[in-house]
Structure 1
């Protein structure tokens, strides 16, 4: 496996959005997130796009996503499948979803 340089890592974009379903809407949110995951994995520059269920908080889902370049993330956010997800998921959420930007640690 090739070595990742600091400049490559700095150019990447990594995010961790968290979604919490309204009571009774867990299955619908789960399905919507799986659809988003499937479509987004095909987007240019996608390094990682995986949805997890939070074992400690039922009805809470964590998305782990990585993009080769920040421009790839920006283009992803303009895709119809993302815009439709964001609009359609609002009624399923107990609160607005949060997005945390994260950075992988590198060896020096």
Structure 2
């Protein structure tokens, strides 16, 4: 199964060996790089950390704006990128959106980069 079909990344172990065990095909590398680019931003890394560490492992965009020091539209943009990449899930309650880490999403990336 091509990596492109796995994005957002949820269960890499079902089809793919770590990158250090076999050479990755060019199209797979491109797809994987798009997913990794979603993490390659300091604000997004902080958002993942803040959501996971928040009470109940879930946070409203209203809880994230001030601590991150960015405007609400900017925070919402970063959250959308993380949702689209499969790292966060989003549920809407009234006028607010709540985010939580997708179980195993970071483990899948870590497994791809493992050297054993």
Q: Greater strand share, 1 or 2?
A: 1
